[in-house]
Amino acid sequence: KKNERKQRNHFSFNHFFHMESISREHIGLNIITMEEFLETVAMKGQLKHIETGMVTFPPNNQTNWNGKPDLEIHKLFQWLRSSTRNTVWVPNDCMAVFPKSKNPADIQQLHDDYDDVMKNGGFPMFDKYIGKPTPVNATSKERMKENWA
């Protein structure tokens, strides 16, 4: 029977990255559902329209969007775009880094690492790392250099 079992043709981020498992393994990485975000942030009036600055709420004040058709979910995504910051990230111009703690000195260390690399010739070419990966326990500066190569 040809159409007895249809193959999945829609995948979510969770199909590739099981964030709940990752969150359990990494203390400090707190993952919440969209429903929880909408209930604890949006419905408490903590989101503002990016153009008007007025408090804004999800369409129809709805927080549970599970199982809704794509046309309905599109309304949620449109609202999210108008009430949250949506930056364009160009990987060649910007790198996400995370300090090892909340201590301002650790944050400053990352800035200092970047400045030092730039003062000393900038980031190396990628071929420097072919077959010679940087160890995971290397300094933040060395890991930054490899990632941006």
pLDDT at residue 76, as a whole number: 96
* Beta partners for residue 48, in sequence order: 55
Chain segment 6-61, per-residue pLDDT in tens: 787 777 777 787 777 777 777 777 788 899 999 999 999 999 999 999 999 999 99
Decide if pLDDT at 115 tops 60.
Answer: yes
pLDDT (average), residues 56-74? 95
pLDDT at residue 13, as a whole number: 73
* Tokens (6 digits) for 32: 């919440």
* Tokens (6 digits) for 4: 């007895």
99 touches 110 (CB < 8 A): yes
145 touches 116 (CB < 8 A): no
pLDDT (average), residues 53-75? 94
The model's confidence at residue 2, banded by pLDDT at 50, 70 and 90, is low
Chain segment 120-147, per-residue pLDDT in tens: 998 899 999 999 999 989 998 999 999 8
pLDDT at residue 65, as a whole number: 94
Measured from the Cβ of residue 82, the count of other Cβ atoms closer than 10 Å reads 15
The model's confidence at residue 103, banded by pLDDT at 50, 70 and 90, is confident
Rounded distance, CA 117 to CA 99, Å? Answer: 17
